[in-house]
Amino acid sequence: MQTGNLLLLNKSNKTPLFCGNGGDISWEKYVSDVARFAQYFSNIESDTVILYIADDFYLFCVCLMALVQAKKSVALPAMLTERNASDLVDLTRIIITNSSEKFDGFQTISPVAPESDMDWKFCDISDGIIYFFTSGSTGKPKRIKKTLSMLLAEVECHISMHSDQINHGPVVIASIAPHHMYGLLWRVLFPMCAGLCVDTDIVFTPEELLQRQSMYKSILFMTTPSFLDGITRYSGQYKFATNCIGIFTSGSLLGANTSESACSMFGVSPFEIFGSTETGGVAYRQQKLNINWTILDAVNVSVVDGCIMVESPYSFKNPYLMSDAIELIGDNQFKLLGRADRIVKIAEERISLPDMESRLVLHPYIVRAYCSTVDKGARKVIGCMLELTGNGAECIIKTGRRHFVEEIKKYLSNFVPTVALPRCIRIVNQIPTNTQGKFVKNEIMAMLNSSVAEPIMQNVQKTDLILTADLTFLGDSAYFNGHFPNFPILPGVIQLHFVFLFCRQFFHVTGNAFDVIKLKFSSLILPDRCTHFELTRVSDDEFTFCYSQQDKICSAGKIVIRGQR
């Protein structure tokens, strides 16, 4: 496959390359637009540019390929603000963006290319350079330089592996953005090189996925573990069509329960890719067939100090030592043991946080866990954030938080020394993750250090516009202390706090504050009682809410989110 000449080979192809609610766009139209934009971008003096296209997948694909054709190196930040733009000034001061935001010290170019009579001469793109940025979930994002030859070689590997699925001519559907390496590989280059049509609209909700399934004969779904986690939470609420012939996921590990549930819901076991922005793909697995990882054919793996050493044509540096501990199994498989850089010392004891997490998720009350060290005064202790099963939620409501936490500690004491038992355990509905499905450490740490404990959520139902759930505010939560002595009630400010939190969690609003437009308190919310909650999205930034107990409204109102992006 001569992927380097991709556009030239398909220059006159009239079959759709892009589809969706905006209509079909042919290869011929795409190539014509790329030529027009390449001519326009060739006049940019800088050899490197920042490309930031928000909410327009087709325009992103046109601009990216046009810039590479114009021999420009391209930096792809996941998000662009004045603050993180300043980290890129050593690369370039040119930003191509459809955003109206201004960036001091940068020249912004609007991606609107004029028509041209000139015939653009397409070139091989293999030597094109893309700068990616790691997720930054555990620190400042790192800049990784990749050539398109590396990316195209990995794509060619996967096309060979999945030829049977490709031969069915499925449409590629995605819940991932194209600006990180996984998104660019699987949402842009994979369908382009395989000759598959890709839907231009990103999928955010189960309803949108159902809609896409109804539009096409068969689909391949490119997604993340966090998206699959969210879908399988509501497995009883949706019945998905059987036309999904492949699910591909990467970014973080897919839990065994989620993998099994997804297989049951879609009829296909998710195909997981293990790797990193630095190395590209390293190995793959489908848990229904094998829980161990199979190394990709062109990749060589060895073990150095317990961690995986990678030599690969997809890696920006060879050899590259990852921070993941593994155990080799045979010639081409390994067992993933967790990140070696997450081994901490507590009172002279070496504790593996990944091992503690894996122990926790084996408990029948726990779906997912994240462990970290937390500062308590002058010493460090271990904190845990837990998502519960339905039985776990019933247990904590029945026995109380203190008894439940003690049971979890008693269970963990079978595996870790007493000094390493978690001193801070938070029960949440969802552990914060980013769009790539990776845990967001700064948000997790803020929650671990907060005294505002989430209510226990049951019977959660979620659509595009409405969230309903039964909440239980446990009586030993800190916000009941002193409000009021001998007669605890839920403070109004806490009620509003959770309205805003659920807007962020379930509707992914990006604002950092809110205004209260309407508010009425009608009845008291008492601890340890089932409180029904409804949250309705009226517009992009307006939400109405209602708390009720036994069909009696306790409070209701409307908020408007501020600072939406």
Strand order in the sheet with 530-537: 456-462, 466-472, 530-537, 542-549, 552-562, 513-521
Alpha-carbon gap, residue 123 to 143, rounded angstroms: 27
Q: What angle do CA 426, 432, 437 make, to 5 degrees?
A: 135
Tell me the torsion sign for CA atoms 98, 100, 106, 110: positive
- DSSP assignments along 26-59, one per residue: EHHHHHHHHHHHHHHHTT---SEEEEE--S-HHH
Nearest Cα neighbor of 114 from 28, 27, 6, 42 is 42
Predicted pLDDT of residue 1: 42
DSSP 286: -
DSSP 524: P
Grouped pLDDT means (10 residues each) for the chain, 565 residues: 54 80 90 93 95 94 96 92 83 92 89 82 90 69 91 95 96 94 95 94 91 96 90 82 95 86 94 95 96 96 94 95 93 88 78 88 92 85 93 95 95 89 93 80 89 93 92 94 88 96 90 93 95 96 95 95 79
Predicted pLDDT of residue 410: 94
DSSP 419: G
Amino acid identity, residue 68? Answer: V
Name the token pair of 87: 């980290």
Q: Are 531 and 473 in contact (CB under 8 A)?
A: yes
Predicted pLDDT of residue 139: 53
Alpha-carbon gap, residue 109 to 549, rounded angstroms: 55
Beta bridge pairs of residue 382: 373
Q: Are 52 and 77 in contact (CB under 8 A)?
A: yes
Q: Are 174 and 184 in contact (CB under 8 A)?
A: no
Domains, the chain, ordered by start: 1-153 (3.40.50.12780), 351-450 (3.30.300.30), 453-565 (3.10.129.10)
Predicted pLDDT of residue 114: 83
Q: Is the pTM of this model over 0.75?
A: yes
Q: Are 111 and 96 in contact (CB under 8 A)?
A: yes
The 3-state DSSP class for residue 535 equals strand
Whole-Å CA distances, 528 to 128, 385, 387, 545, 546: 60, 21, 19, 21, 18
CB atoms within 10 A of CB 202: 18
Q: Are 356 and 417 in contact (CB under 8 A)?
A: no
pLDDT in tens, 181-198: 999 999 999 999 999 999
Using CA atoms of 460, 455, 401, 448 in order, give the dihedral in degrees to the nearest 10. 110
